[in-house]
Amino acid sequence: MIAQAPFRLHRFHGGLHLDDRKALSTGTPIAEVPLPPLMVLPLTQHIGGAAKPCVQVGDRVRRGQTVAHAQGVVSSPVHAPTSGRITAIEARPVPHPSGLSADCLVLEPDGRDQPLDTPEWAPLPDFAAATPAQIRDIARAAGIVGLGGAAFPSAIKLNPGRVVDTLIINGAECEPYISCDQMLMTEQADEVVLGIQVVLHALAAPRCLVGIEDNKPEAIRAMSRAAEHDARISVVVVPTRYPQGGEKQLIQTLTGLEVPSEGLPLDLGIVCHNPGTVRAVGRAVCFAEPLIERIITVTGEAIAQPCNLRVRLGTLMSHLVAQAGGFTDTPGRVLMGGPMMGFALPALEVPVIKATNCVLALAPEQVRPTPEAQPCIRCGECVTVCPARLLPQQLYWHARAREFEAAEDLNLFDCIECGCCAMVCPSHIPLVQYYRFAKTEIHAAEAEKRLADAARQRHEARLARIEREERAKEEARARKKAALAAKTSAPSASPATPPPAATPAPAPTSAPAPAAADDPVAVAMARAQARRAANNAVPAPASVEPADGDGDGKPASAPPAQANSAEDDPVAKAIAAAKARKAARAADVPSPSEPSAEADDPVARAMAAAKARKAAKVASATPADDDDPVAKAIAAAKARKAARDAAGNAPQ
């Protein structure tokens, strides 16, 4: 139904009244374009990640078959627009302002246009029984994106995650020349309304406002007729003023609400869709049709028969132009989109993609050479017409000076690139180009920062992992060490407290056991001291005093000179050390002749130990004893050796 008074409209700031030139292409019904001999399917026809091919060169495909899967949440699959054979997967020129090539699937139609035997999902003609999730999944599987030009994946907008109280259908189509939405609403209003009902169900929204500019009376009538049985849907006629079709501008016109800077319509409980988009959702849900075609306006003063065409995606634009009767003259410029927001096509051998709404060929006389830009005179005209309430001249200064942060502070990203400011600028400054440049630079810097952040996080994660591993190794080492210590301490504890039977009994059999002999610690200490003394005694100093070296109580009588000779002789030293050890052993076990008085008295025991130590020291310095047969034998051996050496050294 047409919204009746008192439906209050509002006004957005700025804007321009432009010559719409839509009548050029609305005189004939939408025409079907025959299948072309070659189709090119870019893997990126949408905002977001490129789709990934799931077919190989040489594969035969059917109409509606998925040929490239979506990658990630913000992405969209690509389907075969007709049956045929994949002949290449390669970079081809695509319609983009950069003029660069991109990866594409090349399809050679077989002319039979065979659909899949079974659609890739089941149709849900009774969509009211479907869940919102089912509808979203189908919209994603069908590869539906915003057909108004933004090409944002629709499944995301069907999954808002919060309450939506108004669905707005943007039928304003404010850009001059373009009439595809107008013709769609005029000729296929029922399908558009079906799509609206499906989307309303998915969003659980209570109402829908269809905004149509008042220069499209046929579309207004057709849509009102189609929607009259559904009280939730209201067709609202809005004034013709560029850019009425801007999402934020139409929302303001219809509701009086302003979408906050850097915000979304969803922040106001509003979701916006294009008429072609909702129709595609309706067809996908109710008839299991993927997005493989769209309506495109082929128009302009340089086109022989301007018209609207139903075109399979992937068709080359040269094919469209041929269907529209070709050029009347060499065009001054061919654009994809309208004269305000479109961009020049480098060639016609680029394919139609999901975002293509118009091919506009301007006559040479319409394309005047751009006058040279003059300095800004601060007239403020650009501010007056800016629908986003920005300061275009300030943005221009900052963009030109590469002061991107300052431009961002002035809400650069609220600029919808409508071109109103550039159109009225008396200095002919290409303002929008400066804004696009600044946005691109900011995006590039952000992408670089994201990469750097990711690299830093990877590095930090690596360091943390290495630290974790080192800690684990350290703990394992400590555990192993503790286990080893526990194992070794078990046997060493028993000698420290030897059982009484194992203790060498120092006590004489005839006398009562001395207290010192009962103290194993004292005994062990004395023994250890004696051993240490014996070890230390080996390199005995030559000046050591004569002592009772053999433990027999007699002082050693050898002079220091002899001690030196003993020191030099390792055999003698070994013998002396053995004697010292013997003395130490003697110190450990009290003699029966030194009875209980010493054993009982710790002082006496200590003195005995000291004596033993002294004896050991002296012993090491004591020369071979004449009475000692071993020493004597060694001395004889030494003499023999000396005689041999002397003989060996004699002159020949």
- Tell me the closest approach of the beta carbon of residue 393 to ligand SF4, in angstroms: 4
Stretch that binds ligand SF4, among 52-60, 363-371, 425-433, 490-498 (CB under 6 A): 425-433
Beta bridge partners of 166: 270
Binding to ligand SF4 (CB under 6 A): which residues in 65-94?
A: none
- Tell me the closest approach of the beta carbon of residue 174 to ligand SF4, in angstroms: 13
Q: Which is nearer to ligand SF4, 121 or 397 (CB)?
A: 397
Full DSSP string of 379-415: --HHHHH-TT---HHHHHHHHHTT-HHHHHHTTGGG-
Maximal CA-CA distance, the chain: 145
Locus of tokens 């961009």: 343
- Tell me the closest approach of the beta carbon of residue 24 to ligand SF4, in angstroms: 25
Note whether 250 binds ligand SF4 by CB under 6 A. no
Q: Which of 420, 438, 544, 624 binds ligand SF4 (CB under 6 A)?
A: 420
Total residues interacting with ligand SF4, rule: CB under 6 A: 29
CA distance 155 to 312: 22
Of the candidates 1, 214, 37, the one whose C-alpha atom is nearest the C-alpha of residue 109 is 37
CA distance 407 to 522: 91
Note whether 30 binds ligand SF4 by CB under 6 A. no
Note whether 421 binds ligand SF4 by CB under 6 A. yes
Burial class of 534 by CB neighbour count within 10 A (0 to 12, 13 to 18, 19+): buried
What order of strands is seen across the sheet that includes strand 78-79?
Answer: 52-53, 66-69, 78-79
Stretch that binds ligand SF4, among 75-83, 148-156, 371-379, 572-580 (CB under 6 A): 371-379
Stretch that binds ligand SF4, among 68-76, 363-371, 376-384, 493-501 (CB under 6 A): 376-384
Note whether 247 binds ligand SF4 by CB under 6 A. no
- Tell me the closest approach of the beta carbon of residue 440 to ligand SF4, in angstroms: 15
Q: Which of 337, 419, 508, 549 binds ligand SF4 (CB under 6 A)?
A: 419
Note whether 360 binds ligand SF4 by CB under 6 A. no
Element (H, E) at 442: helix 431-496
Note whether 386 binds ligand SF4 by CB under 6 A. yes
Q: Which of 39, 250, 336, 388 binds ligand SF4 (CB under 6 A)?
A: 388
Note whether 418 binds ligand SF4 by CB under 6 A. yes
- Tell me the closest approach of the beta carbon of residue 383 to ligand SF4, in angstroms: 7
Note whether 174 binds ligand SF4 by CB under 6 A. no
Rounded to 10 deg, the angle between the 132-141 and 189-203 helix axes is: 130
The total number of residues written for the chain in this structure = 652
The CB density around residue 437, as the number of other CB atoms within 10 Å, is 15
- Tell me the closest approach of the beta carbon of residue 384 to ligand SF4, in angstroms: 9
- What is the phi-psi region of residue 439: left when phi exceeds 0, alpha when psi lies from -120 to 50, beta otherwise? alpha
Task: Determine contact, residues 200/312, Cβ cutoff 8 Å.
Answer: no
Q: Is the peptide bond before 339 cis (omega within 30 degrees of 0)?
A: no
| Chain centroid to CA 93 | 30
Note whether 642 binds ligand SF4 by CB under 6 A. no
Note whether 392 binds ligand SF4 by CB under 6 A. yes
- Tell me the closest approach of the beta carbon of residue 147 to ligand SF4, in angstroms: 22
Stretch that binds ligand SF4, among 21-29, 217-225, 259-267, 423-431 (CB under 6 A): 423-431
CA distance 209 to 9: 12
Q: Which is nearer to ligand SF4, 428 or 465 (CB)?
A: 428
Which tokens is 635 given? 């001395």
Q: Which is nearer to ligand SF4, 121 or 404 (CB)?
A: 404
Stretch that binds ligand SF4, among 191-199, 372-380, 478-486, 511-519 (CB under 6 A): 372-380
Note whether 156 binds ligand SF4 by CB under 6 A. no
DSSP three-state, residue 418:
coil
Note whether 373 binds ligand SF4 by CB under 6 A. no
Write the CA distances from 320 to 43, 185, 314, 599, integer angstroms: 21, 22, 11, 124
Over the window 432 to 471, marking each residue x when it contacts ligand SF4 by CB under 6 A and - when it does not, the resulting string is x--x------------------------------------
Stretch that binds ligand SF4, among 210-218, 234-242, 370-378, 445-453 (CB under 6 A): 370-378
Of the candidates 557, 616, 558, the one whose C-alpha atom is nearest the C-alpha of residue 586 is 616
Which tokens is 376 given? 């800004």
Q: Is the peptide bond before 243 cis (omega within 30 degrees of 0)?
A: yes
Which tokens is 233 given? 């849907």
Q: Which of 175, 181, 187, 417 binds ligand SF4 (CB under 6 A)?
A: 417
Q: Which of 426, 495, 539, 570 binds ligand SF4 (CB under 6 A)?
A: 426
Over the window 544 to 583, marking each residue x when it contacts ligand SF4 by CB under 6 A and - when it does not, the resulting string is ----------------------------------------
In this structure, is the dihedral angle defined by the CA atoms of residues 545, 547, 549 and 555, taken in order, positive or negative?
positive
Full DSSP string of 83-118: SEEEEEEEEEE-S-TT--EEEEEEEEE-SS-PBPSS
Q: Which of 260, 325, 326, 380 binds ligand SF4 (CB under 6 A)?
A: 380
Give the footprint of ligand SF4 on this chain (CB under 6 A): 376-382, 385-388, 390, 392-393, 396, 415-421, 425-427, 429, 431-432, 435
